[in-house]
Amino acid sequence: MPRALKTYRTAIGFHDAYVAAPSQKAALEAWGADANLFARGVAEVVTDPALMAEPLARPGQVIKRPRGSMAEHLAALPEEKPASPRKAKARGAARPRPRPDRAPLEAAEEALAALDRQQEAERRQLARREAALRRARQDLEKRHQAERHPLEKARDAAAKRYERALRTWEG
């Protein structure tokens, strides 16, 4: 008999993630958790029927629901206090940090591009040599065939003469 499903919930960012599963272990697997969220107190069993309906309709599937509106999220942020001039000076806020030097990256990219150009030129040169070798092979095959044809013709004529002479001799 299959085990009864329970609905579990955990917080994922600005959402609650619900899942209907037979056990806490199965819920953790559905969420992709690598730690026991139940032991840490960040996951729980849900008993509210309104919150259980959708996960129970799709067992094993994680259902995400927003945890409040954007306005509520922004309102929950702590107020930022302006830094006192003395603290700003102590932190070095008067001078912005210099932008990282891009020159080493550009030099490496140019070296790689130069290598790509050189290797492409070598591939084109090799392709030209291969094409020349193919043409030379085709010319050689034609010449061999042209040299062979008259000799094969002479051999065939000699074979016919020999067969006639053999028939005459035998009989």
| Spans of all domains in the chain | 6-68, 106-171
Element containing residue 31 per DSSP (H, E): helix 24-31
CA distance 76 to 79: 9
In this predicted structure, what is the pLDDT of residue 69?
A: 76
CA distance 59 to 21: 6
pTM of the entire predicted model: 0.44
Token pair recorded at residue 83 = 């830094």
Check: CB of residue 20 under 8 Å from CB of residue 59: yes
Mind listing the pLDDT tens digit for each residue in 46-98?
A: 999 999 999 999 999 999 998 877 777 777 777 766 655 555 555 556 688 88
Which stretch, 20-24, 73-77, 84-88, 100-104, has highest mean pLDDT? 20-24
